[in-house]
Every structure is written in C-alpha cells, then in structure tokens.
A and B are shown apart, each in its own frame.
Chain A
Amino acid sequence: MRLLQANEVYDAIRTPTNFTREETEPPRFTVGQEVVVRNLNPRGHTRLPRYAKGRVGVIERHHGCFVFPDTMAHGKGPHPQHLYNVRFTLTELFGDHDGNAADTVYIDMWESYLDPVTS
C-alpha cells in the first residue's frame, strides 16, 4: 500500500497501468492454428469463461505478452504470458442453439488456458 498525499491523488488515479511485458519466450501458437481450451477450474480468479472450456477455437490474433490476471488477483506476481484472441463459432460453444449458424465469439485468452489440437 502506498500512502498518498492529497495533492498526489488526482495524478495517481489518472495514470494508466501498463499490463504489457517484454517477451522472454516465443509464442506457443500461431495465427490460424486450432486450439482447445483446457478444462481449468481454479478456486481463485480466472479470465477463462466457463462456457468455453473444452471447446475448440482458432487463434485469430497474437496480442503479445501480458501480465497474468489469475496470479495478479492473489498477489502472486505478474507471471506474464502470451495473450491471444481466439475465435469460436457459436455452434462450437453452444451446440444446437437459436442463433445464426454463422455467428462467432472472440475471447482473449492467456497461453496457459490453451492446448494445441492434435490431429
């Protein structure tokens, strides 16, 4: 915890946090690659939505290296990882659903949420 003087508060609130980090490892996945979401159920914080677990998607974009929320949320450090945007069809996520068969969902996912699809 930082002790703030009254005249420091405004600047402290306005200064944006930088969540990006230098890459120390090469990315495990490439754009266009099929990935399967790991069935993770941590007791703590995660940015992995329940409905995506076990589903297959395609790497849409590689964002670079970002701090890992699942450890940050518990004071366990930034543990930066590659972050990807992953594309899923609604049919893959929800099976036989009411929506348009062409609809897709894009989810930002940290590398440890994902496994390669082996064929």
Chain B
Amino acid sequence: MNGIHDVGGEHGFGAVTTEANEPVFHGQWERDVFSVIGIYFAAGLCPLDEFRHSIEVMDPAEYLSTPYYVHWLRAAENLAFWNGLFTPEELQARIEEIEAHEKRESA
C-alpha cells in the first residue's frame, strides 16, 4: 500500500537523532509490548509480513508522531482484531474498566 511508512526519498524529516547510551527499553510498557509481539510470533499469530502490514495501516499522523513501540502496540491490537482474539469494542471496554478502577484507587 502507498502508506505513510514508505518514506524512502522523502524530504523534510530532518536528521536521524541518536540517543547517547540508549537503553533497550524506555519503560516497563515497552518491555510488555515487546513480549506480547514475541508471543504472537511464537504462536504463529503474525507471520513477519502480516506484522509489518499491521503497522502500515496505522493512522498516518499517529505513525509519524509516536515512538517505535507504539507502532508495535498498534500491531498487537490490529493482529488481535484480525485473528479474533478480541474486538475493538472489547478493548475499549477494558480500557474504560481500568481507567475507572485507577480513578477509584486515586480518589
């Protein structure tokens, strides 16, 4: 697909920035996302090319403005939808459930 991922030859993105002493993960959530995709691969849920495509279909603005592991998070969600693990509605309901729980905890 002619998607936002196909940036070869594009101008205007500036230099590639590098981080001194870059850690493998920047937070626990990145570890979690990495692990989930690892399990997906092992379980045959996402052949490599299906994994790539599940990132290509991201919202273009979000694709350009989010860190690497957000792309993997969207892959984990899209592959789950496509494989019938859960629906977008079920995911949203679970997010709201967790948010409500956290709100109660902090109240």
**Chain A residues near B (Cβ < 8 Å):** 1-4, 8-9, 12-13, 17, 41-46, 49-51, 69-70, 72-75, 93-94
Q: Is the CB of A45 within 8 A of B56?
A: yes
B30-53, CB under 8 A of A: which get 1 and which 0?
A: 000000001101111101111011
Q: Is the CB of B50 within 8 A of A72?
A: yes
In the bound complex, residues from chain A placing their C-beta under 8 Å from that of B43 are 1-4, 12
Q: Per a CB cutoff under 8 Å, which of B42, B44, B52 touches A9?
A: B42
Query: Which chain B residues numbered 1 to 43 have a C-beta less than 8 Å away from chain A?
Result: 1-2, 6, 8-9, 38-39, 41-43
Q: Is the CB of B8 within 8 A of A49?
A: yes
Q: Is the CB of B53 within 8 A of A45?
A: yes
Q: How far is the CA of A72 from the CA of B53 in the complex (A)?
A: 10
Known: A2-B44, A4-B39, A49-B6. A74 touches B50 (CB 8 A): yes
Pull 19 A–B residue pairs with CB atoms less than 8 Å apart, ordered by A. A1-B83, A2-B42, A2-B43, A2-B44, A3-B43, A9-B39, A9-B42, A12-B42, A13-B39, A13-B42, A42-B1, A43-B1, A45-B49, A45-B52, A46-B1, A69-B48, A69-B52, A72-B50, A74-B53
